[in-house]
Amino acid sequence: MSSASLTSPAARLRALRPNWLSDPKVWRTEVLAGLVVALALIPEAISFSIIAGVDPAVGLFASFTMAVVISIVGGRRAMISAATGAVALVTAPLNREHGFGYLVAAVILAGVFQIALGALGIAKLMRFIPRSVMVGFVNALAILIFMAQVPEMHDVPWPVYPLITGGLALMVYFPKITTVIPAPLVSIVILTVITVAAGIAVPTVGDKGALPSSLPVPGLPDVPYTLDTLTTIAPYAFAMALVGLMESLMTAKLVDDITDTHSSKTRESIGQGIANIVTGFFGGMGGCAMIGQTMINVKVSGARTRLSTFLAGVFLMVLCIVFGPVVSDIPMAALVAVMVMVCFATFDWHSIAPKTLKRMPAGEITVMVVTVACVVATHNLAIGVVAGSITAMVIFAKRVAHLAEVTAAPDPDNASVVYSVTGELFFASSNDLVGQFNYATDPDKIVIDLSKAHIWDASSVAALDAIETKYAQRGKTVQITGLNDPSADLHGKLTGELTSH
């Protein structure tokens, strides 16, 4: 083969093409996973539209555009982004007080904020989220998903309960027969056929709201383009940007762990912004990563590529526009069964096993419980993650603060005393440092050996200055030795500069 043929555009294109494009098994998995997710998205999107106070078509359009766009520009393969409850809760007051045009404008501005935050490196903050917060986040998510299904099981016709039980049984036992077709899809199809053929009167997808009959059309938000409009939508847009990014990045990290692969969180952050901007121009309510649907796609259906995400959005519109009457007949019981199965698959049962709880430090358990409690109480995953992370930081600071110890070793002739400081010196530990010296009875020469310590902040430098001042007031001299290079640099810059007198 000539060198020219190796560098031809066609050859370069083949080299860049993913391997899975030529694998029929992967295609089948991705296509069927996309179909299952699309079916599960319909009632969710309609429900979130109701929360936001907009027409059901708005949530469905948002789910379509978010999924399609993020499949191309997102950083995490196989993750599902669509209209979400967290975003709906943030934007609902804006829509209620100012109208739909302002909501759309806020979605576009939120996208701009997300691109800016992504470019500034907000994704790097993910490394500060402890594992106990992540476990709490996952468990709280499973609880929230289950709680969202409870209304569908309350005050409903009695056939709903055997339908849900049957759907769960199908999803548990059907994979033992074959995994070629996703069990959730089989469950949805069989339960729909049974209810339609037998004429069983149970709540259906169509009862949630009318499905759209045409594709969304792009346009500009119907708002006055003034500074007043900007100041009105900016707080809502920024809140939506933060909530959306936090949920998306946490979901991406979760999928990373499940699939044992890495994803670009910076690209995902910017991709979420692009997807929201596009969604806004198409009149959608905005969104972010959907953890429940992502678990259906990745953990239940076994999808691993961008194709499933793209097809979830495409199938969503096809199902609504072309097969609307058929989709409307799907019993809600079938989708409830799917989501309940997702709950059980998502929850980290090992984290609450008695053996685990006995071995786990009390602080780790506390962080997990705080995260779960805050999420369940507020129905906001972002609040739970922040509360859990702050709790973890406080516990860590308290634990490390106790590791700073001071031991004294006087000379035999009592001419001097050497204080050895061991541990990490920062605001929590250095506050107690000043009280561990014998200012009145010590000899005239004091050596503070910091060779086994590290100075982290200005509070520690101020504490050392205070110690020197107390000895100086008694006519005694202090010599600080053993500083490592970073500690010596910080001490040299700040010593003597932290008091006004």
- Counting Cα atoms < 13 Å in the Cβ hemisphere of 407 gives 8
Kindly calculate the radius of gyration of the chain based on its CA atoms and give it in whole angstroms.
29
Q: What stretches of 306-457 show up as alpha helix (H) in DSSP?
A: 306-321, 324-328, 332-346, 354-359, 362-378, 381-401, 427-430
Contact 400, 428 (CB under 8 A): yes
Q: Taking each helix axis as running N to C, give the angle between helix 24-52 and helix 85-98, from 0 to 180 degrees, rounded to the nearest 10.
A: 40
* Angle, CA 92 vertex, CA 88 and CA 97 arms, to 5°: 165
Q: Which residues, 6+ apart, have CB-to-CB distance to 205 below 8 Å?
A: 42, 43, 46, 327, 328, 329, 330, 332, 335
DSSP letter string, 101-139: HHHHHHHHHHHHHHHHHHHTTGGGGGGGS-HHHHHHHHH
From first to last of its 501 residues, what are the pLDDT tens digits of the chain?
Answer: 455 445 566 666 555 566 656 678 889 999 999 999 998 888 888 878 877 888 888 999 999 999 999 999 999 999 999 998 778 878 888 998 999 999 999 999 999 999 999 999 988 877 778 889 888 988 887 888 788 888 889 899 999 999 999 999 999 999 889 877 888 888 989 999 999 999 999 999 888 877 888 888 999 999 999 999 999 999 999 989 988 998 899 899 889 988 999 999 999 999 999 999 999 999 999 999 998 889 889 988 889 999 999 999 999 999 999 988 888 898 989 888 888 887 888 788 989 999 988 988 899 999 999 999 998 888 777 788 889 999 998 888 887 766 678 999 887 777 899 999 998 898 888 877 888 899 998 999 999 999 999 999 999 999 999 999 999 999 999 999 999 999 999 999 898 877 654
Dihedral (Cα; 114, 120, 126, 128), 10-degree rounding: -140
Tokens of 87: 């975003």
Residue burial 449-471, b: 16+ Cβ < 10 Å; e: rest: bbeebbbbebbbbbbbbebbeeb
* Residues written for the chain: 501
